A = this chain, B = another copy of it.
Amino acid sequence: MLNDPMVLTPIAAAAVPVEPEKRIRDRGATEKAILNAAKSLLAEEGFQNFGINAVARRAGCDKQLIYRYYGGLNGLVEAIGADLGTWVKDRIPEDTGGMFLLTYGDLMERLSLLFLEALRDDPLVLRIVAWEVSENTEQVRRLSEARSKALANWLERMRGSLTPPKGVDAVAVNAILFAAIQHIVLSASAAEQCAGLALKTSKDWEKAATALKRIVRGVYG
Protein backbone atom coordinates (compact mmCIF):
# COMPACT_ATOMS: atom_id res chain seq x y z
CA MET A 1 0.00 0.00 0.00
CA LEU A 2 2.64 2.47 1.06
CA ASN A 3 5.40 1.27 -1.16
CA ASP A 4 5.43 -1.22 -3.94
CA PRO A 5 9.02 -2.29 -4.54
CA MET A 6 8.11 -4.09 -7.75
CA VAL A 7 7.18 -0.81 -9.30
CA LEU A 8 9.72 1.48 -7.73
CA THR A 9 12.88 -0.53 -7.78
CA PRO A 10 13.28 -1.06 -11.52
CA ILE A 11 12.81 2.62 -12.15
CA ALA A 12 15.34 3.62 -9.55
CA ALA A 13 17.72 0.98 -10.82
CA ALA A 14 17.32 2.26 -14.34
CA ALA A 15 17.71 5.87 -13.32
CA VAL A 16 20.87 5.17 -11.37
CA PRO A 17 22.47 2.30 -13.17
CA VAL A 18 26.03 3.11 -12.37
CA GLU A 19 27.53 4.55 -9.22
CA PRO A 20 28.26 1.06 -7.93
CA GLU A 21 31.06 1.98 -5.56
CA LYS A 22 31.12 -1.65 -4.76
CA ARG A 23 32.33 -2.53 -1.34
CA ILE A 24 34.92 -5.21 -1.86
CA ARG A 25 34.29 -8.32 0.13
CA ASP A 26 36.80 -8.30 2.91
CA ARG A 27 35.62 -9.03 6.36
CA GLY A 28 38.78 -7.84 8.06
CA ALA A 29 38.66 -4.51 6.28
CA THR A 30 35.00 -4.08 7.06
CA GLU A 31 35.56 -4.78 10.72
CA LYS A 32 38.29 -2.19 10.81
CA ALA A 33 36.11 0.28 8.97
CA ILE A 34 33.38 -0.21 11.54
CA LEU A 35 35.75 0.17 14.46
CA ASN A 36 37.29 3.29 13.00
CA ALA A 37 33.90 4.73 12.22
CA ALA A 38 32.87 4.12 15.81
CA LYS A 39 36.00 5.72 17.21
CA SER A 40 35.88 8.77 15.02
CA LEU A 41 32.18 9.18 15.58
CA LEU A 42 32.65 9.04 19.32
CA ALA A 43 35.58 11.42 19.14
CA GLU A 44 33.82 13.94 16.95
CA GLU A 45 30.23 13.79 18.06
CA GLY A 46 30.47 12.47 21.58
CA PHE A 47 28.47 9.72 23.16
CA GLN A 48 25.21 11.55 22.65
CA ASN A 49 24.68 10.62 19.05
CA PHE A 50 26.55 7.39 19.32
CA GLY A 51 24.39 4.54 18.09
CA ILE A 52 24.21 1.56 15.81
CA ASN A 53 22.64 3.51 12.99
CA ALA A 54 25.10 6.37 13.16
CA VAL A 55 28.12 4.08 13.21
CA ALA A 56 26.81 2.05 10.30
CA ARG A 57 26.12 5.20 8.34
CA ARG A 58 29.61 6.48 8.91
CA ALA A 59 31.22 3.13 8.17
CA GLY A 60 29.20 3.00 4.97
CA CYS A 61 27.86 -0.44 5.67
CA ASP A 62 24.72 -2.01 6.99
CA LYS A 63 24.16 -2.07 10.71
CA GLN A 64 23.53 -5.76 10.50
CA LEU A 65 27.26 -6.22 10.10
CA ILE A 66 27.85 -4.55 13.43
CA TYR A 67 25.61 -7.07 15.07
CA ARG A 68 27.31 -9.89 13.25
CA TYR A 69 30.90 -8.89 13.79
CA TYR A 70 30.73 -7.24 17.18
CA GLY A 71 27.54 -8.54 18.68
CA GLY A 72 26.02 -5.08 18.77
CA LEU A 73 27.05 -1.78 20.29
CA ASN A 74 28.27 -3.32 23.52
CA GLY A 75 30.79 -5.46 21.75
CA LEU A 76 31.88 -2.53 19.67
CA VAL A 77 32.43 -0.40 22.74
CA GLU A 78 34.39 -3.19 24.29
CA ALA A 79 36.59 -3.30 21.23
CA ILE A 80 37.20 0.40 21.66
CA GLY A 81 37.98 -0.16 25.30
CA ALA A 82 40.58 -2.74 24.41
CA ASP A 83 42.80 -0.04 22.95
CA LEU A 84 42.43 2.00 26.09
CA GLY A 85 44.58 -0.34 28.10
CA THR A 86 47.65 0.85 26.31
CA TRP A 87 46.63 4.41 25.81
CA VAL A 88 48.85 6.08 28.38
CA LYS A 89 51.85 4.02 27.41
CA ASP A 90 51.34 4.74 23.73
CA ARG A 91 50.80 8.39 24.24
CA ILE A 92 53.45 9.19 26.73
CA PRO A 93 57.16 8.58 26.34
CA GLU A 94 58.27 5.71 28.52
CA ASP A 95 61.59 7.22 29.40
CA THR A 96 60.93 10.73 30.54
CA GLY A 97 63.38 12.08 28.05
CA GLY A 98 66.54 11.41 29.96
CA MET A 99 65.49 13.83 32.60
CA PHE A 100 66.78 13.59 36.08
CA LEU A 101 63.83 12.88 38.25
CA LEU A 102 65.30 13.15 41.66
CA THR A 103 62.18 13.49 43.73
CA TYR A 104 58.59 12.36 43.73
CA GLY A 105 57.66 15.98 43.16
CA ASP A 106 59.79 16.10 40.01
CA LEU A 107 58.07 13.02 38.76
CA MET A 108 54.53 14.13 39.45
CA GLU A 109 55.10 17.52 37.96
CA ARG A 110 56.29 15.90 34.80
CA LEU A 111 53.54 13.29 34.69
CA SER A 112 50.84 15.84 35.31
CA LEU A 113 51.95 17.93 32.41
CA LEU A 114 52.33 14.93 30.16
CA PHE A 115 48.88 13.72 31.07
CA LEU A 116 47.45 17.14 30.39
CA GLU A 117 49.05 17.22 26.97
CA ALA A 118 48.00 13.69 26.11
CA LEU A 119 44.40 14.39 27.00
CA ARG A 120 44.39 17.64 25.14
CA ASP A 121 45.12 16.02 21.87
CA ASP A 122 43.14 12.88 22.14
CA PRO A 123 39.51 13.77 21.60
CA LEU A 124 38.42 10.15 21.76
CA VAL A 125 39.65 9.56 25.27
CA LEU A 126 38.35 12.93 26.29
CA ARG A 127 34.88 12.01 25.12
CA ILE A 128 35.14 8.79 27.00
CA VAL A 129 35.97 10.69 30.15
CA ALA A 130 32.90 12.82 29.62
CA TRP A 131 30.91 9.68 29.09
CA GLU A 132 32.22 8.19 32.30
CA VAL A 133 30.94 11.03 34.41
CA SER A 134 27.61 11.24 32.65
CA GLU A 135 26.34 7.72 32.54
CA ASN A 136 26.54 4.71 34.72
CA THR A 137 25.89 1.71 32.54
CA GLU A 138 27.75 -1.55 32.29
CA GLN A 139 29.18 -0.36 28.99
CA VAL A 140 30.71 2.75 30.38
CA ARG A 141 31.80 1.09 33.57
CA ARG A 142 34.00 -1.24 31.61
CA LEU A 143 35.57 1.56 29.66
CA SER A 144 36.15 3.40 32.88
CA GLU A 145 37.74 0.42 34.55
CA ALA A 146 40.07 -0.28 31.68
CA ARG A 147 41.20 3.30 31.67
CA SER A 148 41.72 3.73 35.37
CA LYS A 149 43.49 0.42 35.70
CA ALA A 150 45.87 1.35 32.93
CA LEU A 151 46.44 4.70 34.54
CA ALA A 152 47.20 3.28 37.95
CA ASN A 153 49.50 0.75 36.39
CA TRP A 154 51.34 3.38 34.50
CA LEU A 155 51.73 5.58 37.55
CA GLU A 156 53.10 2.65 39.50
CA ARG A 157 55.60 1.76 36.80
CA MET A 158 56.79 5.31 36.39
CA ARG A 159 57.18 5.80 40.08
CA GLY A 160 60.07 3.43 40.27
CA SER A 161 61.70 3.72 43.61
CA LEU A 162 60.67 7.28 44.29
CA THR A 163 58.44 7.78 47.28
CA PRO A 164 56.10 10.61 48.17
CA PRO A 165 56.85 12.80 51.18
CA LYS A 166 55.91 11.30 54.52
CA GLY A 167 52.45 12.05 55.75
CA VAL A 168 50.97 12.70 52.31
CA ASP A 169 48.28 10.39 51.01
CA ALA A 170 49.65 10.15 47.50
CA VAL A 171 46.76 8.11 46.13
CA ALA A 172 44.21 10.66 47.21
CA VAL A 173 46.29 13.64 46.18
CA ASN A 174 47.02 12.17 42.79
CA ALA A 175 43.38 11.33 42.25
CA ILE A 176 42.52 14.94 42.88
CA LEU A 177 45.30 16.13 40.65
CA PHE A 178 44.25 13.94 37.77
CA ALA A 179 40.63 14.78 38.34
CA ALA A 180 41.54 18.42 38.01
CA ILE A 181 43.39 17.83 34.77
CA GLN A 182 40.57 15.84 33.27
CA HIS A 183 38.00 18.40 34.22
CA ILE A 184 40.03 21.32 32.97
CA VAL A 185 40.44 19.71 29.58
CA LEU A 186 36.80 18.70 29.48
CA SER A 187 35.68 22.19 30.31
CA ALA A 188 37.98 23.65 27.74
CA SER A 189 36.72 21.40 25.02
CA ALA A 190 33.12 22.21 25.84
CA ALA A 191 33.30 25.89 26.66
CA GLU A 192 36.87 27.07 26.11
CA GLN A 193 37.02 28.12 29.72
CA CYS A 194 36.70 26.79 33.21
CA ALA A 195 35.45 28.61 36.25
CA GLY A 196 36.36 31.95 34.77
CA LEU A 197 39.75 30.88 33.48
CA ALA A 198 39.94 31.19 29.70
CA LEU A 199 41.33 28.12 27.99
CA LYS A 200 41.62 29.02 24.38
CA THR A 201 44.99 30.30 23.33
CA SER A 202 48.28 28.61 24.05
CA LYS A 203 48.97 31.48 26.41
CA ASP A 204 45.94 30.48 28.41
CA TRP A 205 47.19 26.95 28.58
CA GLU A 206 50.58 28.05 29.74
CA LYS A 207 48.95 29.81 32.60
CA ALA A 208 47.03 26.69 33.47
CA ALA A 209 50.15 24.58 33.26
CA THR A 210 52.04 26.97 35.49
CA ALA A 211 49.29 26.91 38.06
CA LEU A 212 49.21 23.15 37.90
CA LYS A 213 52.96 22.93 38.45
CA ARG A 214 52.64 25.22 41.40
CA ILE A 215 49.97 23.06 42.91
CA VAL A 216 51.97 19.90 42.43
CA ARG A 217 55.04 21.50 43.90
CA GLY A 218 52.98 22.76 46.76
CA VAL A 219 52.00 19.31 47.90
CA TYR A 220 55.04 17.37 46.90
CA GLY A 221 57.74 19.95 47.23
Q: Which residues of A contact B (CB under 8 A)?
A: 46-48, 130-136, 140-141, 144, 148, 151-152, 168-169, 171-180, 182-184, 186-187, 189-191, 193-197, 207-208, 210-212, 214-215, 217-219
Residue in B168, B180, B191 whose CB lies within 8 Å of A176: B180
Chosen A-B contacts, 18 in total, with CB atoms closer than 8 Å, are: A46-B134, A132-B187, A132-B190, A133-B183, A136-B191, A148-B196, A168-B214, A169-B210, A169-B211, A172-B210, A174-B195, A175-B197, A175-B208, A175-B211, A176-B184, A176-B211, A179-B195, A215-B218
Indicate how many identical chains form the complex.
2
Would B179 and A194 count as touching, CB distance under 8 A?
Answer: yes
List the B residue with the shortest CB-CB distance to A220.
B218
Which of A152, A179, A212, A218 has the largest count of B CB atoms less than 10 A from its CB? A179
Shortest beta-carbon distance from A211 to chain B in Å: 4
Which of A140, A152, A215, A217 has the largest count of B CB atoms less than 10 A from its CB? A215
Measured between alpha carbons, how far is A47 from B191 in the docked complex, in Å?
17
Chain B residues within an 8 Å CB radius of A152 = 195-196
Residue in B135, B175, B193, B215 whose CB lies within 8 Å of A48: B135
Beyond A176-B215, A214-B219, A218-B218, 17 additional pairs, beta carbon < 8 A: A46-B134, A48-B134, A133-B134, A134-B134, A134-B190, A136-B190, A148-B195, A152-B195, A152-B196, A169-B211, A171-B197, A172-B207, A175-B194, A175-B196, A175-B211, A176-B208, A178-B195
